[in-house]
Amino acid sequence: AQSVSQHNHHVILSEAASLELGCNYSYGGTVNLFWYVQYPGQHLQLLLKYFSGDPLVKGIKGFEAEFIKSKFSFNLRKPSVQWSDTAEYFCALYSGGYQKVTFGIGTKLQVIP
């Protein structure tokens, strides 16, 4: 089976603070990894994705994530958050073996002005 764990369920930061959201997965084969964001009242949007190649991927709005295969991790980072980053963030995994996307439980980020 494949699974995704997000360890921080609710994070509160002040503006300009640095952000790191943890994501670990379990699957032994080749994976595609995603971070989705859901702003209040809006649909899920793709923030960034990893398919292959450079393990450090850059997404929209200054977000980046690093795939560390040995740690089965794909943590999301942003050096300086803004109030507009307040949203829920979901890590997701796709494997060719199971041919489906599995999501983590999500992390609610609240940025205080």
Residue of the chain from 35, 67, 74, 94 that contacts another protein (CB under 8 A): 94
- State the minimum distance, in angstroms, from the CB of residue 2 to another protein: 11
Per-residue CA distances from 23 to 16, 30, 68, 75 (Å):
22, 16, 11, 5
What is the gyration radius of the CA atoms in the chain, in angstroms?
A: 14
**Contact indicator for 63, 79 with CB cutoff of 8 Å:** no
Whether residue 101 contacts residue 92, with contact meaning beta carbons closer than 8 Å, is answered with yes
Element (H, E) at 59: none
Chain positions 4 to 63 lying near another protein, rule: CB under 8 A, are: 4, 9, 30, 32, 34, 36, 42-46, 49, 51-52
Smallest separation, CB 32 to another protein (Å):
6
Closer residue to another protein in complex, CB, 96/113: 96
What residue ranges bind another protein (CB under 8 A)? Answer: 4, 9, 30, 32, 34, 36, 42-46, 49, 51-52, 90, 94-96, 99-106
